Structure 1
Amino acid sequence: MEKFTQLSGIAAPLPLVNVDTDMIIPKQFLKTIHRTGLGKNLFDEMRYDDKGNEIPDFVLNQPAYREAQILVTGDNFGCGSSREHAPWALEDFGIRCVIATSFADIFFNNCFKNGILPIALPEAERDMVMTDAEKGANARIEVDLVSQTITLSDGTTINFDVDPFRKHCLLNGLDDIGLTMEKVDAIAAFETQASSSRPWV
């Protein structure tokens, strides 16, 4: 998993509430078990018409936001089914940070396991970030996980909370497998001891 320490990027405003995982990545794209290739279908039903043509008004189709790395959105983002493909699609598109007033629990947890930083802010502070994002590509936002701060294009700084363990995992690029591999020496020692004490197993 790619480490997350600091990010300076374009933020795309998506002022919607209750964006569920089927909106993020529709069910017809869930057949793959690969984490790559889903970015082109992120928000598929909002990005494309019935003929597969881009819908110009959708934020990620606008020139200013095609390279967005931050998504600013509303309440209860990531609700619905528990599909891990949702953060896979966001990450594959290039989104490394999602800022909202609240998240669905399973989606929130899946973000951390896939190298995405979800930040929950009070509505007033989220609105400040949304307003800055609406300025377009000239307004780059900085997210610093080490100091737990968001710096807007005018220099305004907003603090955010993050669980210390999840912060450690993101800073070091540790998913569930990575966390297990940190204990590989202890696991090997246990297996050696177990084989010696119970050779019949």
Structure 2
Amino acid sequence: MEKFIKLTGVAAPLPITNIDTDMIIPKQYLKTIARTGLGKGLFSELRYNDDGSENPDFVLNRAAYRNARILVAEDNFGCGSSREHAPWALLDFGVRAVISTSFADIFYNNCFKNGILPIKVSKADLAKLMDDANRGANATLTIDLEAQEIRGPDGGVVKFDVDPHRKQCLLEGLDDIGQTLVKAPKIAEFESRIANERPWI
């Protein structure tokens, strides 16, 4: 998993409440278990018209936001079914952070396990960040995970909380498997000792 230490990138505004996982990645894209290639399906029902052409009104189709690395969204982001394809699609598109006032629990947990930082902020701070995100080509935010700060284009700073263990895993780029592999020498030592002490097992 790629480390997350500091991210500077364009933030796209999504002033929509209750963005669910089916909106993030519709069900027709769930046939694969590969984590790559899903970016094309991200928000596909909003990004594309029925004939497959791009919807020019959707934010990620606008020139300033095509390479957005951050999403700023309204309440309850990631609600709905517990599909891990949702963070996979965000990551494959290039999104590394989502800012909202609240997240669905399963989606929130899945983000950390896939290298995406979900940030909870107050309604007042979200309004400031949404305003920053509406600046088009100037909609650049810097997220400093070590300092737990979001810095806006005008120098404003928003502080955020994050669980210390999850923070450390992101800083070190460790998913669940990575956390286990860190302990590989101790696991090997234990297995060797048990094999000697209890060869019948």
2:90 aligned partner? 90
Q: 1:200: Cα distance to partner?
A: 1.2
1:34 maps to amino acid: A
Superposed, 1:73-88 pairs within 5 Å as 73-88=73-88
1:13 aligned partner? 13
2:133 aligned partner? 133
Q: C-alpha offsets along residues 131-153 of structure 1, whole Å, 9 cap, x if unaligned?
A: 00000122311100000000000
Q: 1:166: Cα distance to partner?
A: 0.3
1:57 aligned partner? 57
C-alpha distance in structure 2 between counterparts of 1:141 and 1:174, whole Å = 24
Q: C-alpha offsets along residues 165-187 of structure 1, whole Å, 9 cap, x if unaligned?
A: 00000000000010000100110
Give the secondary structure class of the aligned counterpart of 1:130.
Answer: helix
C-alpha distance in structure 1 between counterparts of 2:129 and 2:168, whole Å = 25
Is 1:189 the counterpart of 2:189 in the alignment? yes
Is 1:173 the counterpart of 2:173 in the alignment? yes
1:25 aligned partner? 25
2:39 aligned partner? 39
Give the secondary structure class of the aligned counterpart of 1:71.
Answer: strand
1:17 maps to amino acid: T
C-alpha distance in structure 1 between counterparts of 2:142 and 2:52, whole Å = 34
2:185 maps to amino acid: D
C-alpha distance in structure 1 between counterparts of 2:139 and 2:58, whole Å = 19
2:107 aligned partner? 107
Q: C-alpha offsets along residues 56-101 of structure 1, whole Å, 9 cap, x if unaligned?
A: 0000001110010000001110001110000000000000000001
Q: Which runs of 5+ in 1 are unaligned?
A: none
C-alpha distance in structure 1 between counterparts of 2:200 and 2:40, whole Å = 53
Q: 1:39: Cα distance to partner?
A: 0.4
2:124 aligned partner? 124
Q: 1:194: Cα distance to partner?
A: 1.0
Q: 1:108: Cα distance to partner?
A: 0.2
1:147 aligned partner? 147
1:11 maps to amino acid: A
2:57 maps to amino acid: D
TM-score by length of 2: 0.99
C-alpha distance in structure 2 between counterparts of 1:139 and 1:47, whole Å = 20
C-alpha distance in structure 2 between counterparts of 1:80 and 1:197, whole Å = 50
Give the secondary structure class of the aligned counterpart of 1:137.
Answer: helix
Q: C-alpha offsets along residues 20-57 of structure 1, whole Å, 9 cap, x if unaligned?
A: 00000001101111110000110010101111111000
1:45 maps to amino acid: E
Equivalent pair of 2:11/2:72 in contact (CA under 8 Å)? yes
Give the number of equivalent residue pairs: 201
Q: 1:154: Cα distance to partner?
A: 0.3
Q: Percent identity?
A: 65
CA RMSD of aligned residues (A): 0.6
